[in-house]
Structure 1
Amino acid sequence: MPVLSVITAVAPGMHEHLPETYESLRTQELPAGWEWEWLVQCDSMDEDHRAQIRAVLPGDEPRLSYRASRTGGPGVARTMTLARARGELAKTLNADDRLAQGSLMRDIHGLSQPDVHWAASRVIEFWPGGGQRPHSARTPPAGRVTSGELLSSYWSPTDTGLLVHPATLCVRMRTLLALGGWMALPASEDTALMLALDAVSDGWYSEEVGLLYRCWDRQMTAQPAHFEPEERNARRRIIAIRAEALRSFKDSFRIRGAQRS
């Protein structure tokens, strides 16, 4: 039976929305014959932090697997889950976000297309008090996203960011492993992975909403350190340089969209 591995990194003190995250996963419908597993990783070995997360997690074994690792940021925590992942596909799910209905079904459909190695979807931001708005009006057309399209839009003088939101990423597990998981960065590691994938393979974009993205004062991307100019510019540059290097070696990867037998 094919498995989709849903991967959630939890920073210390960021566990309070996990029950909502789980509920959005529990109610997902998958194609016949598929199942999901939820790999939750605490980004700290501190026993108090580990216990706080354990206290809010549901009793859904064996579909739920919970572990902890030394603090290294969300990219390190996510990469550590790959040691126990069983899935043919890997899906990122932040600890404070919620999947929209049908999200996993659409991801699996997109990744069933020939030579497609990643899938993403539209995002709705939701705010304290119940307000909602689209994350961005600038997205690719629905369907196949040609390799290199994201990089060309990201590495531009206007600094308008990615055409797709990396928090919606679903990827072939073997391709994720071949690229080394998430990049070792203090932030933007999901953007780095998305651009690495774009450099070596085509993707698939769904115009239907795939993720409800929580915007609140404690999220990591709302903190002043995330926008400190020197570090931010360095992150952007190394992300783009790496993607360009991967693109130059694309033929060496010989990635093929072999379909599930």
Structure 2
Amino acid sequence: MTSVVSVITAVHGPSAKFLADAYKSLNEQQLPVGWEWQWVIQQDGETDDVASYVPDDPRISFGQGRHGRAAMARMMGMSRVVGEYVRVLDADDMLTPGALARDLTVLTGQPGIAWTTSRVLDLLPDGSTVGFDQDPPEGPIERGEVLTHWQAHDFRAQVHPATLCVRRDLLLALGGWMALPASEDTGLLLALNAVSRGWFTAETGLLYRKWPGQSTSQAAHSEQEERAARMAVVEARAEALLALENWRIDAA
């Protein structure tokens, strides 16, 4: 019997041109014996400027929906997810060789681990890469650790939500990505960490593309009033879940 890891990607017109690079990085993954991948691509919007960039591959499921930003697109895409685990891959990013295999090795071999993250390198427009200087050591991340670090470091987590690979059932039980204009993935990460143990892999798992059209580079992303509101609701959700002892998840 074949097991499936589902890779989910939200995409909009400006980022569609990068899907070829994302696909190449996914197609080059070597999975453990008995595993295969599914790529669920969900367009944020119903325009005609994305479909032509979607590769012709039976393992890919492409859908469209009303504009609502990345969180809503991913959640709509979840309707087509068939895998036991869900791996995030933004349209403009790329997996590194072996990233999916490392995720699956941890999730299937480490008792009590419900989600994984990994080291990220920023991919700059000139092709150079820059790493993060506050990566934690490889190994388990205990409940509440991400929230504590995030609160102490100006709302910046020590692990990157764009590298998340998580149990599908837990993702759905928590309501998925938060209904926010940004930081929706951070909100999910903190919620997951509030109820379950995770893992950080020190080997680089993602190239995070920096380019002028990405949403995090826009002025609105850093507007202080909205940012404060996003962080407040992300924090409140995580703290509420952390306080609910019956929400603790012990992954098999």
Verify same fold: TM over 0.5.
Answer: yes
- The residue number in structure 1 matching 2:43 is 42
TM-score, with normalisation over the residues of structure 1? 0.94
Distance 2:104 2:206 in 1: 15
1:89 aligned partner, one-letter code = Y
Instruction: Give me the whole-angstrom Cα distance separating, in 1, the residues matched to 2:12 and 2:157.
Output: 24
**What residue in structure 2 maps to residue 190 of structure 1?**
185
- Segment drifting more, 123-132 vs 83-92: 123-132
2:231 and 2:97 mapped to 1: Cα distance?
A: 32
SS at 1:151's partner residue?
helix
From the superposition, tell whether residues 59 and 9 of structure 1 become closer, same or farther in structure 2 (CA, over 3 Å).
Answer: same
Q: Give the whole-Å Cα distance in 2 for the aligned partners of 1:196 and 1:256.
A: 15
| 1:234 is the counterpart of 2:229 | yes
Distance in 2 (CA, whole Å) between partners of 1:69 and 1:223 is 23
Give the aligned partner of residue 200 of structure 1: 195
CA distance in 1, matches of 2:215, 2:106: 29
TM-score (norm 2): 0.97
SS of aligned partner of 1:83? helix
Question: Aligned ranges for residues 83-162 of structure 1 at < 5 Å?
Answer: 83-112=79-108, 113-134=110-131, 136-156=132-152, 158-159=153-154, 161-162=156-157
How big is the shift at 1:127?
A: 0.9
For the residue of structure 2 that corresponds to 1:257, the secondary structure is: coil
Q: Alpha-carbon deviation of 1:160?
A: 5.6
Structure 1 residues 190 and 160, CA, compared in 2 at 3 Å: closer, same or farther?
A: closer
Does residue 76 (structure 1) correspond to residue 72 (structure 2)? The answer is yes
CA distance in 2, matches of 1:128, 1:109: 32
Q: Pick from 239, 243, 257: which aligns with 2:251?
A: 257
Structural mapping, 1:60-75, within 5 Å: 60-61=57-58, 63-75=59-71
1:177 to 163, 172, 180: 172
Structure 2: runs of 5 or more not aligned: none
The separation in 1 between residues aligned to 2:191 and 2:248, in whole angstroms, is 15
Name the CA distance, whole Å, in 1 between partners of 2:12 and 2:242: 32
Q: By how many angstroms is 1:12 displaced? A: 2.8
Unaligned runs of 5+ in 1: none
Equivalenced residues, count: 250
**Are 2:196 and 2:248, in contact at CA under 8 Å, matched by a contact in 1?**
no
Contact preservation (8 Å) 1:10, 1:41: yes
Residues 155, 254 of structure 1: alpha-carbon distance in 2 compared, 3 angstrom cutoff:
closer
Letter in 2 for 1:217: P
In the alignment, the residues of structure 1 paired with residue 190 and residue 5 of structure 2 have an alpha-carbon distance, to the nearest angstrom, of 22
The aligned amino acid for 1:257 is: A
Shift of 1:253: 2.3
Instruction: Say if 1:4 and 1:91, in contact at 8 Å, map to a contact too.
Output: yes
Corresponding residue for residue 16 of structure 2: 15
